[in-house]
Amino acid sequence: MRKHNFGAGPGVLPEEAIRKTQEALYDFNGIGMGAMEISHRSKEFAAVMDRTRSLTRELLKVPDTHEILLLQGGASGQFAMIPMNFLNGKAAYVEAGAWSVKAIKEAKTAGEVVVVASSADKNFNYQPKGYDIPADCDYLHITSNETIHGTQLKAWPDSPIPLVCDMSSDIFSRPVDTGAFDLIYAGAQKNLGPSGVTVVIIKKEFAQGIKKKLPKYFNYNTHIEGESLYNTPPTLPILVCMFTLEWLKGIGGVEAIEKINSEKASLFYGQVDANPFFTGTANKEDRSPMNAPFLLADPKRDAEFLQTARGKGIEGIKGHRSVGGFRASMYNALPVESVKALVTFMEEFSKVHA
């Protein structure tokens, strides 16, 4: 029996994608070899790469002005690679949580960083808004969804400079005007697939403006010219991404999953708001439908709550140490039934300990 997986990442995958992967591991498309055993230069894997990029373009409506790359290194790799390529004078960053803090720290190794807004004053429980964007910076970096602190941007800044966004924990969860961004990046292990692959959506004109002399691997143009095959890519994770995107397309795409995600978030936050036994940690207007941190009114019950939840088949809800308490991550592949199971358990637990 599969558990109700609320883990923050690597997160839950669609069962359909898992089953297809199981079959492909032994015999991929009837070729007598498993998916992990074939060359990344083979026609079979070329078809996987093409299909994965094509689905990404279709589902996110990526314009022809942008390239789609499938790289390695996760978001952490992009924290370093972006300033290496684009920080010539100074760059603007919004500090909205733990991941933007790490991005800022990496960028400072490459040049001057201007933090244009921060929510650190309230332990990142809200998304900064209404800040000024300096026109003399090379780019503005934002984080669409802060996984640890459970906040999400509901509107994008009107930026006079190139806009760069870390969408690791909410990409493919809602429609996005991808053409408005100069670079979008996301570690796959939330909504796209397993860990090991990073999707980068980059405006061609932005990449053409790279002026620095860099090690070849760390220049975006190397991967654009090499069609993400400059070095051996993470072949199996890319295949799982393809299966995941096929599943997403099959259920109606990003527009359909946004409605499902909204239903899950309403169920969960409805319980938190109606039940005084629980408290949400993020400002209501900035709450993330992907990651929902919450606390018990009586923290002495935390260990019991976690242990009892596991007995109900509910896994992955322990909160990050910087916030404490608990966190329910409700990524695309998490069924509505899992959220209902968690909400029912929360209600039952609170009644027993009222």
Q: Hey, is 26 helix, strand or coil?
A: helix
Which are the contacts of 10, defined by CB distance < 8 A and separation ≥ 6?
Answer: 189, 194, 195
Closest CA to 294 of 310, 272, 311: 272
- Could you give the dihedral angle defined by the CA atoms of residues 314, 319, 320 and 322, in that order, rounded to the nearest 10 degrees? 180
Q: Which two tokens stand for residue 293?
A: 């941190």
Please indicate whether residue 284 is annotated as part of the active site: no
99 is catalytic: yes
Token pair in block for residue 330? 């409700």
Continuous H helices in the chain: 15-26, 43-60, 74-86, 98-107, 204-208, 220-225, 235-250, 253-274, 302-311, 336-352
99, 203, 247, 264: the catalytic one is 99
Q: Which of 138, 166, 182, 286 is catalytic?
A: 166
Q: Exactly one of 20, 190, 203, 318 is catalytic; which is it?
A: 190
In whole angstroms, what is the distance from residue 253 CA to residue 50 CA? 18
Annotated catalytic residues are 99, 166, 190
